[in-house]
């Protein structure tokens, strides 16, 4: 018998460097994948610092089990 | 004369006796006078027949033997028992001595009446001298061995049972001969060596190759260890049968101690060089940033970036100092952890932020793959974050640019597991254990992590152990990436504490302090004025003094809410200033906060005893300062 509650597996959060198209500098963005590898969430912004990028991801659920 | 079936001519027999040269063969009458003399007697004793015939045989004896009445004793014994045999010194005609083997046989007639004695004497002087020389040599050697104090020299039987013991053995090992002879020599080995079968291995090598030589730890009677160099030599008899072993042991503890000291001195020297280098690294950009700020007009866009640089690099400097303090705690056995129920995944996400600058610098892709459920362990959130950040910094620094770092957490059976995997330079499999040693020289890969002092992994493993867990490294080899696995017991089903990440929460949770009157006491003028600017920028009123006496004087007139007091002052130290301030103000109407570079527990205890309310360590983070100013008077010492 299948469980009533939907399985709620955590995302795999990925923080990756991207080159800024305007000045060529490296900026940071994040994506969240399901455990099966399907893209679930994607940040539309980029950040100068990885810390800022992580902070933004945190608002979307990163770091909360 | 007749023997068996042959008949011997008495004349011939007489001639044979007379001509025998190797033995003195002669007859005595019943009272001991010489009545026959052969060539052997003449050769050995030096008398011609005409010189000795009729004389009493006592002329052959030494003065001492004569005084004891020995010639008469010999004849009496021979008369009663039929035969007497003796060895002793005898005198030749020329007065010289020779060592004689003497057999005297009583001669009786058919009625049994004693008619005389036959005497056969052999000259055994050469043999005697040889024996004496050998005995003397053995005695000298025995005394030498027994008297040697610098070496334990003793014998073992073929099974390893101790059969002899010298003074050096007693001095080095502590056992007397009575205590140890008859016991097995394995008692000198450490428990680890015994478990490894070392004593029997040493004997087997000596048995097979004739000798075994080894250096290692050995045990004294009192349980102390000493560093020994031991040589075991197999001893065989003339037929080649193993008779036992000779064992010589030297106590090299002193040499080992000196070697260890020399190694420690080399390590410290290298460590200081690395430390200087690591301190210079963040200082250079700070100085450059200060220069840029000074040389650009206020509000210039470059200044913002320079401020960020200074903040980043000074945080790095603070981490170096923290690591140094941790090392000091580890070496003194005072490195401890607090215990709360915490989520390993949440800590990993905070640690990733700490390591973000290194990951950022390497432009690495970072994947965080956490368990579906909180991975609850009982531990110290800050220490675990320090450990994980070390692993991440490590991965970032030793992975070529644009690599991939994966952090994962899982609850597996009774363990919380955290893995940090990278696509970096990897580790030679031979080094996967040694990289966890502190200050080990010559580590080819991954030698400097954390602050670059070569202590990060050693500290990290210590943290894991304090949590009842392990930290291990795996790699398929150089340039094949590496994986560090932290394994900690899962917590029993307890509620997670709200202090899971206390320091992070506290930083943002502390409300801004109401404006305070703050007296800054610091002999370092730059530090004092920087603190003054910082306090004023936060809306507080601040005054600066540079000596303890000034502090006492100004306090009375300035009436501060808080005194930020340095400990090392040029006139009276901060402890004394605090004591005097407390003595004059018993109502504790102001707070005294120690601001010092000393962070040991003993320093904190001393400042508490002197009357300080709080102990802050330089460099003081603005958040900690806010916290110190926000608390009411009489708060608990941190």
CB contact under 8 A, B346 and A64: yes
Q: Three-state DSSP class for B177?
A: helix
Residue B1 has pLDDT above 80, yes or no: no
pLDDT of res. B36:
92
pLDDT band at B369 (very low <50, low <70, confident <90, very high): very high
| Residue B105 predicted with pLDDT over 80 | yes
B187: its two tokens: 């008692």
Residue B509, pLDDT above cutoff 50: no
Picking from B301, B358, B366 by the largest number of A CB atoms within 10 A of its own CB, the best residue to mutate is: B366
Interface touch B343/A65, C-beta < 8 Å: yes
* Side-chain half-sphere exposure of B200, counting CA atoms within 13 A: 4
Distance (Å, rounded) from C-alpha B55 to C-alpha A19?
A: 132
Restricting to B residues 105-144, those with a Cβ less than 8 Å away from any Cβ of A are: none
* Inter-chain touch A15–B368, beta carbons under 8 Å: yes
pLDDT value at B528 more than 90: no
Q: How far is A20 from chain B (nearest CA, A)?
A: 13
Q: Lay out the sheet containing B114-123: strands in order across.
A: B24-29, B114-123, B97-108, B83-91
Q: A28 has which bridge partners?
A: A17, A47
B296 to chain A nearest CA, in Å? 23
CB contact under 8 A, B359 and A26: no
Partners of B410 on chain A (C-beta within 8 Å) are none
* d(C-alpha B590, C-alpha B594), whole Å: 13
Q: Which range among B1-15, B69-83, B403-417, B551-565 shows the weakest confidence by mean pLDDT? A: B1-15
pLDDT above 70 as % of chain B: 90
| Antiparallel, parallel or unpaired: β B365-369 and B517-521 | unpaired
**Mean pLDDT of the B455-463 span:** 86
pLDDT in tens, B40-96: 999 999 999 999 999 999 999 999 999 999 999 999 999 999 999 999 999 999 999
B-chain CB neighbours of A29 within 8 Å are: none
With 70 as the cut, is the pLDDT of residue B2 above it? no
Work out the angle at residue B520's Cα, subtended by the Cα atoms of residues B517 and B524, and round it to the nearest 5 degrees: 160
Judge residue B498's burial from the number of C-beta atoms within 10 Å of its C-beta, 0-12 exposed, 13-18 middle, 19 or more buried: exposed
- Exposed, middle or buried by CB within 10 Å (0-12, 13-18, 19+), for B618? middle
Quick check: B307 contacting A, CB < 8 Å? no
CB B253 within 8 A of CB B217: no
CB contacts < 8 Å between A and B, how many?
63
Query: Least CB-CB distance to B356: which of A9, A26, A54?
Result: A54
d(CA B346, CA A64): 7
**B373 contacts chain A (CB < 8 A):** yes
Per-residue pLDDT at B498 exceeds 50: no
Tell me how far apart the alpha carbons of residues B276 and B453 are, in angstroms, rounded to a whole number: 10
**Residue B631 has what pLDDT?**
67
Report B:317-356 residues touching A (Cβ under 8 A).
Answer: 343, 345-346, 349-350, 352-353, 356
Is B335's pLDDT higher than 60? yes
pLDDT of residue B40: 92
pLDDT in tens, B594-631: 887 766 677 778 888 888 888 887 767 777 788 788 76
Q: Tell me the mean pLDDT in the region B555-573.
A: 87
* Segment B170-228, tens digit of pLDDT: 999 999 999 999 999 999 999 888 988 999 999 999 999 999 998 999 999 999 999 99
Q: Distance from A45 to chain B by nearest Cα, in Å?
A: 17
The rounded percent of chain B whose pLDDT value lies above 90 is 45
Which band of pLDDT confidence, cut at 50, 70 and 90, is reported for residue B263?
confident
How close does chain B come to A26, measured CA to CA in Å? Answer: 8
Nearest residue to B595 via CA among B632, B562, B567? B567
- Identify the closest residue of chain B to A48 by CA–CA distance: B360
Q: Per the CB < 8 Å rule, is A26 touching B374?
A: no
CB-based contacts of B583: which residues, under 8 Å, 6+ apart? none
The pLDDT, as a whole number, for residue B165 is 92
| Res. B334 pLDDT band, cuts 50 70 90 | confident
For chain B, state the CA radius of gyration: 47
- Cα separations in angstroms, A52 against A15, A33, B347: 11, 20, 17
pLDDT score, position B507: 39
Per-residue confidence band for B504, with pLDDT thresholds at 50, 70 and 90: very low
Check pLDDT > 80 for residue B267: no
Residue contact B374–A65, C-beta within 8 A: yes
Q: Are B361 and B398 in contact (CB under 8 A)?
A: no
**Average pLDDT of chain B to the nearest whole number:** 84
């Amino acid at each position: 018998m299948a469980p009533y509650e939907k399985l709620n597996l955590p995302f795999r959060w990925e923080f990756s460097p991207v080159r800024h198209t305007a000045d060529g500098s490296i900026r940071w963005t994040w994506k969240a994948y399901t455990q099966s590898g399907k893209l679930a969430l994607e940040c539309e912004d980029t950040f100068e610092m990885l810390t800022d990028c992580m902070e933004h991801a945190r608002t979307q659920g990163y770091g909360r089990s | 004369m007749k023997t068996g079936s042959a008949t011997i001519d008495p004349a011939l027999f007489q001639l044979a006796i007379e001509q025998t040269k190797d033995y003195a063969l002669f007859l005595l009458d019943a009272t001991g006078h010489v009545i026959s003399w052969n060539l052997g007697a003449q050769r050995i004793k030096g008398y011609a027949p005409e010189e000795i015939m009729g004389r009493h045989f006592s002329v052959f004896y030494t003065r001492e033997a004569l005084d004891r009445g020995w010639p008469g004793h010999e004849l009496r014994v021979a008369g009663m028992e039929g035969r007497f045999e003796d060895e002793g010194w005898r005198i030749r005609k020329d007065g010289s001595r020779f060592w004689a083997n003497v057999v005297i046989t009583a001669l009786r007639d058919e009625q049994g009446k004693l008619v005389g004695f036959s005497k056969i004497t052999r000259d055994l002087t050469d043999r005697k001298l040889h024996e004496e020389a050998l005995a003397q040599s053995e005695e000298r050697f025995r005394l030498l061995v027994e008297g040697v104090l610098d070496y334990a020299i003793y014998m073992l039987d073929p099974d390893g049972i101790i059969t002899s013991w010298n003074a050096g053995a007693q001095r080095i090992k502590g056992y007397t001969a009575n205590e140890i002879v008859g016991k097995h020599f394995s008692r000198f080995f450490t428990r680890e060596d015994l478990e490894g079968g070392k004593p029997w291995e040493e004997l087997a090598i000596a048995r097979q190759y004739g000798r075994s030589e080894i250096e290692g730890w050995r045990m004294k009677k009192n349980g102390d260890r000493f560093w020994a160099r031991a040589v075991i030599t197999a001893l065989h008899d003339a037929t080649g049968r193993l008779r036992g072993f000779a064992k010589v042991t030297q106590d090299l503890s002193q040499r080992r101690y000196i070697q260890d000291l020399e190694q420690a001195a080399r390590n410290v020297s290298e460590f200081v060089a690395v430390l200087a280098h690591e301190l210079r690294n963040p200082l250079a950009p700070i100085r450059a940033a200060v220069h840029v700020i000074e040389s650009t007009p206020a509000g210039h866009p470059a200044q913002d970036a320079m401020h960020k640089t200074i903040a980043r690099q000074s945080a790095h400097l603070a981490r170096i100092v923290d690591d140094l303090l941790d090392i000091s705690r580890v070496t003194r056995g005072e490195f401890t952890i607090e215990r709360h129920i915490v989520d390993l995944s949440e800590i990993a996400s905070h640690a990733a932020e700490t390591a973000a600058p290194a990951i950022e610098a390497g432009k690495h892709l970072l994947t965080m793959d956490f368990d579906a459920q909180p991975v609850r362990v009982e531990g110290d959130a800050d220490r675990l974050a320090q450990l994980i950040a070390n692993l991440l910094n490590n991965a970032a620094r030793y992975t070529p640019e644009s690599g991939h770092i994966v952090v994962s957490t899982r609850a597996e059976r009774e363990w919380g597991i955290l893995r940090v995997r990278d696509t970096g330079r990897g580790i030679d499999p031979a080094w996967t254990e040694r990289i966890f040693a502190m200050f080990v020289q010559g580590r080819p890969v991954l030698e400097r992590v954390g602050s670059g002092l070569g202590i990060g992994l050693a500290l990290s493993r210590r943290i894991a152990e304090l949590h009842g867990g392990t930290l291990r490294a795996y790699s398929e080899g150089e340039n094949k990436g590496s994986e560090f696995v932290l394994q900690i017991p899962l917590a029993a089903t307890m509620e997670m504490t709200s202090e899971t990440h206390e320091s992070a929460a506290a930083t943002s949770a502390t409300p801004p302090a109401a404006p305070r009157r703050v007296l800054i006491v610091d002999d370092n003028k730059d530090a004092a004025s920087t603190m003054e600017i910082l306090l004023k920028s936060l809306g507080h009123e601040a005054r600066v003094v540079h000596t303890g006496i000034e502090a006492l004087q100004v306090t009375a007139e300035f009436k501060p809410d808080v005194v930020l007091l340095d400990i090392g002052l040029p006139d009276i130290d901060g402890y004394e200033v605090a004591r005097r301030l407390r003595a004059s103000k018993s109502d504790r109407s102001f707070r005294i906060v120690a601001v010092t570079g000393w962070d040991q527990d003993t320093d904190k205890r001393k400042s508490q005893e002197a009357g300080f309310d709080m102990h802050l360590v330089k460099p003081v983070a603005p958040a900690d300062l806010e916290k110190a100013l926000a608390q009411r008077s009489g708060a608990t010492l941190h």
